[in-house]
Structure formats: structure tokens, C-alpha cells
Chains A and B, each alone.
Chain A
Amino acid sequence: MSAEAQILLVVGAYLALNLFVGWRAARSASDSATGFVAGDRSMGPVLMYFVTGATIFSAFAFLGAPGRAFSTGAAAFHILAFGVLGFLPFYWTGPAAARLGRRKGYITQAELVAGELGFRPLAPVMAVVSLLAFVPYLALQMRGAGHVLEVLTSGAMSVEVGAAVVYGVVLLYVWHSGVMGVGWTNTLQGLFMMIMAWSLGLYLPRALHGSVGEMFQAIDPEFLRLPGGAAQEGERWSWLGYGSSVFVMAAGFSFWPHLFQKAFAARSESVIRRTVVLYPTFQLFLLPILLIGFAAVGFEPAPEQADQVLPHLLLQLDLPALLIGLFCAGALAASMSSGDAILHSAASILVRDGWIVGAKKTLSPEAERRAVRWMLLPILVISYVTAVSFHEDLVGLLSYAYGPMGQLAPPVLAALFWKRATGIAALLGLLLGSATTLAWPHLMPPSDLHPGLPGLAVNAAVIVVVSLMTSRRA
């Protein structure tokens, strides 16, 4: 049997296992919209840990992070830095949202904000902002899956076909089991990618350089000094760029709707708090991932694209096909664990926030569940088209998505913790903050400042000022 066939066999077995686990998960939730979207609010600590951890660790972590370390050196440390801070707000926002969700029936972030501020138009606007970020993010996961399969099968499976096969499996288990399918597959995928990350992160520096310490000693110290290199080759990142990027990405981190929505699925508030406390243990798995990228510095032949560092190294090292297949499955786990959560969340947001809250339509629980299922299809197709036609590096694509997503933080915080906040203020803050983020690079002189930072400042200022000038609807 050829090496490509063995790799595909391992990948096929892994996908089948995911489908089995995801399919069976349907038994653990009721046949209602709350069951499909929020798992009947029954997720315990194990599921919550893996759902939140694996959801965030995506194709970006497995492929983009080593690529960034390989191409920009110390700049890649910011990925670990923002992750340390990013989930902490959930310690307070998560339990507050879960409490309100249980009391008032909320199952999406936008529904909560619109409901608490008594202003329905917020829900569809937040849904649109979310979807604008979700599509490139889901496309990124698909591209990552396709990339890995293409490189490791030496082109026997193209990016397009690879992405279609992997996300066909994702569609099947999300369609059948909803959030519980996402939860149980994420547990499997999280375990798998942690094992693969640590194995490869320790093995590759040792195989190529003798040890981690020797590897770093062989690299130019300037390459390893913060804030590291810029995306443009030969230039260095400024501290302004590094610091603002860490801040904006940390601010947006726990407000991504697909992650925030898990507050509604948790069994209790203490489960959420414990998840936040334990979360950095998941974050530490980025360390071996970065080591993989540094192991490739100076390696000949160099990979053609930074994102392909890891599969490139594995192929060059002449490893057994079974091991390469297992790595491939680990990378697919990273892609699928985020992609399934985004797909599921995007569909529920469209139906709940767009149709039910925004357009004031009433659906029975069964009809709502059916509508969420059907919405999976157009979202998947649009993301797939984006994935096969958009050519940016993976981290660049993610950074674009984080800009507008960080703008959800001020309205959510205002809805949860500031009784004086008004709906119109939150809406204006969100719109002006997003507009500032998007327009900043085009209107201002070139700078390393992350455009999300002025966007956040405008957003927060508008919410405070307009709230003080208006009153909340009854």
C-alpha cells in the first residue's frame, strides 16, 4: 500500500470515529431548539473544558501559529499572550449570562443583549457582525483542513476536495446532534490534538537540533527578541503593534458568539468558573506548537508557505506513513473542533437573532430546530466558496476576523453589568466602533496600531455618552 493510501486510511478512520461520537451524542439532548442549541443547559465540567478549549484551538493554532513563529519569530509570542488574558472576562460574564439565560430563556448572545437592553434591533445587527467574522473564520478552518490533506498526500487530494470531505463529516454530526455533537467530538478532538501537539513539539526540535535549548541557541537572538518581525519580510514589529494586537485580541476572545453561547449550555455557574480557571492549561499547548515553527528555522529545503511548516517538516523527515496520518488527524481535529462550533453557532444565530427576535416571527421548538438545521447548509457553502477563493495567510485572516468581533464586548458588558445602559447606545456604539475599526487603516497614516483599539475606544465612549442622554425602553 502506498504512503498516501495509508495516510488517507488513518484520516478516514479518524473521520469515521468523529462521526460515530458526534452522531451518538444526539441521545443526550432533548428534541427541542434548546436541546439542539444549548444542550438543555446540561454540560458538566468535562464537556465545558473541552468545548471551550478545543473550540478556540483551531487550524490557526496548528498551522498558522508554527507558520508565524517560523516567519516572524518572537512576534508569534503574542498568540500565547492574548490567550492568557482572553478568557478571564468569562469568569464574570459567563455566570451572569447563564443565570439570565436560565431565567429568561436566552440561548444566544445577541438575544441576551437585545432582551436585557429592551431593544430588538440589536439582535439582527449583532448577528450580522457575528456572521461577518464567522465566515472568514470558518473558511480558515476549511482551508487548514484542505491544506494539510493536500500537502501530506502529495497532492493526491486537493485543498478543495479535502475541505469538502472533512466538512461533509462535520455537517452530518452537527445536523444530527447539534451542540452535544459539537461537545463530544470536541472532547475527542481536544484530547487528540493535545497529544499530537506535545509529541511533535518535543520530537521535532530534538530530531532536527538535538534539544529545544540547542535549537534556540542556533537561531539569531534578534529573531527571538520581542516584539519580533513584522508580517513584511525584513521589517520589525513595533511595540505599539504588538501591544495593541494583544489587547484587542484578548478583548474579543471571550465575546466570540460561538464561545460565549456555551454559557447557556453549562450545567451551573460554578462549572463555568472552574472552566475559566482551568482554561490556561489548554492554552499551554500552544507552547509546543510554537516550538515546531522554530524547529523549521534554517531548515533546508524551506517550506514554500509559512502555513505549511509542519506538514513540510514531517514529509522531509521521512517518517512512517502511520505517524504522518496521525499528525494529519491531529490537524483535522484542530480544524473541526472550531469549525463545527462556528457552523452550529452561526446557524442558530441566524434563526434565533435574525428571524425570531429580529423579524418577530414565532416558531415552535420543533420548527426552530428544523430551521437551524437547514441554515447550516448556506453557511457551509458560503464559507467553502470563501475558503477556496481567498488567498491570505491563516493568521492574517484570523486577525481580520478579530477586529469587528472585539466590538461585541462593550455592548455585552453594558447589557450584563450597567443598568443605565440603553439599547440605542449599544447599537450606535457597535456600529460606530465597527466602522472605525474597518475604516481606520484606510483613513489614517500607516501605523502598526491594531485598528480594533480605536474601534473599542469609540464603541465604549458612544455607549457611555448616549446611555446618559437616553433612557431604556420599558
Chain B
Amino acid sequence: MALRHLLLLIYLFVAVLSLTGLLFRDLSTADGLVLGLPAGLAWVTGWAALTPFVMWAYMRTEPEDADAADGGGES
């Protein structure tokens, strides 16, 4: 398996476990506010903010593909 697939798989695995509460429960239920938000809300917002960067990095390393019929404009 290519390294890019493996890294993404690990990221997604940790994300699923974290967002379903199976991992890092202490972090997501900590007392007090993080950046003005309750810990749980800061936790899920952090994942929402981080994921596009991870996916963007994964997409940037995509091998060139023909991407058939890439014609036509925004109609």
C-alpha cells in the first residue's frame, strides 16, 4: 500500500474513533473553555478545520489521471 494511502487511513481511523468518543474521551470532556468554546465543541470543530488540509494534501499527491471528458464550462 502506498504511503499516502496508509497515512490517510491512519488519520481517518483516528478521526472516526475520536469523533465517536472511543478515543481521547478525557480531552473531549475536559473542564473549562478552549478558545472560548466548551472542550467537546472545540474538539469537533478542530477536526472539521483540520480535515480539509489533510484531504487537500492527499489530493495533491494523487497520481496524474486522465480524468475523462474534462470538458465543458460552468453552465
Contact = CB atoms under 8 A, between A and B. Distances in A.
A239 B25 contact: yes
Interface string A27-51: 0110000000001111111110000
A315 interface: no
Nearest to A205: B36
Contact of A277 (B31, B39, B59, B74): B59
A320 B6 CA distance: 55
Interface string A273-291: 1101111110110010010
B69 A284 contact: no
A40 B38 CA distance: 46
Interface string B1-41: 00000000000100110011110010011010100111111
B45 A80 contact: yes
A224 B40 contact: yes
A225 interface: yes
A226 B21 contact: yes
Contact of B40 (A88, A99, A225): A225
A377 B38 CA distance: 46
B19 A81 contact: yes
A277 B33 CA distance: 29
Classify chain B: how many residues form its interface, as a range: 35 or more
Contact of A46 (B45, B55, B74): B74
Contact of B55 (A91, A227, A270): A91
Contacts of B63: none
A216 B36 contact: yes
Contacts of A224: 38, 40-41
Do most interface residues of chain A lie in helix, strand or loop, or is the interface mixed?
helix
Given A80-B45, A278-B52, A216 B33 contact: yes
B75 A80 contact: no
B64 to A, nearest CB: 11
In this complex, the member of B25, B43, B75 whose beta carbon has the largest number of chain A beta carbons within 10 angstroms is: B75
Classify chain A: how many residues form its interface, as a range: 35 or more
Given A88-B55, A226-B40, A269-B65, A47 B74 contact: yes
A290 B20 CA distance: 19
Contacts of B49: 280, 284
A167 B26 CA distance: 46
Interface in B41-75: 41, 43-45, 47-49, 51-52, 55-56, 59, 62, 65, 67-75
A276 B44 contact: no
A74 interface: yes
B68 A99 contact: yes
B5 to A, nearest CB: 11
A221 B25 CA distance: 16
A307 to B, nearest CB: 21
A334 to B, nearest CB: 19
Given A46-B74, A246-B19, A284-B45, A273 B59 contact: yes
Contacts of B43: 77, 226
Contacts of A221: 31, 38
A154 interface: no
Given A84-B48, A268-B69, A280-B48, A247 B40 contact: no
Contacts of A39: 75
18 contacts: A43-B74, A44-B75, A80-B44, A81-B19, A83-B48, A84-B19, A85-B15, A85-B19, A216-B36, A224-B38, A242-B21, A243-B21, A250-B16, A277-B55, A283-B48, A284-B49, A287-B41, A287-B48
Interface of B: 12, 15-16, 19-22, 25, 28-29, 31, 33, 36-41, 43-45, 47-49, 51-52, 55-56, 59, 62, 65, 67-75
Given A77-B43, A243-B22, A268-B68, 10 more contacts: A84-B48, A211-B36, A226-B21, A244-B20, A268-B70, A274-B59, A277-B55, A277-B59, A280-B48, A281-B52
